[in-house]
Amino acid sequence: MNDDITVPEGWEVVDGKLHRVVELADFSEAFAFMTRVALAAEKADHHPDWSNSWNKVTIDLVSHDADGLTARDAALAETINTLL
């Protein structure tokens, strides 16, 4: 069952996941941002489904073990927002 979460600013719910597309200046900036997300994700033990194409990073957050959105998704989304 899903937690009753508040969708963080800049994110929307798409296909049952918290979804955000981020555009940076170039690949270097995009991959540095991904590195910070990776550090935050590993610390939280909660990892994104994400993709990258050059300067664009697309992030989807969902709690696979809960088969839906939980407070862990909202918390990671909030943390990612602080990196932008």
Near a copy of itself by CB under 8 A: residue from 3, 12, 21, 54: 54
Whether 55 contacts 26, CB under 8 Å: yes
Taking CB under 8 A as the rule, does residue 42 contact a copy of itself?
Answer: yes
Q: Please list the residues that pair with 61 across neighbouring strands.
A: 18
Alpha carbons 58 and 64: distance in angstroms, whole number: 18
Shortest distance, position 4 Cβ to a copy of itself, whole Å: 25
Residue 51 in the binding site for a copy of itself (CB under 8 A): yes
In the complex, the smallest distance separating the C-beta of residue 10 from a copy of itself, rounded to whole angstroms, is 19
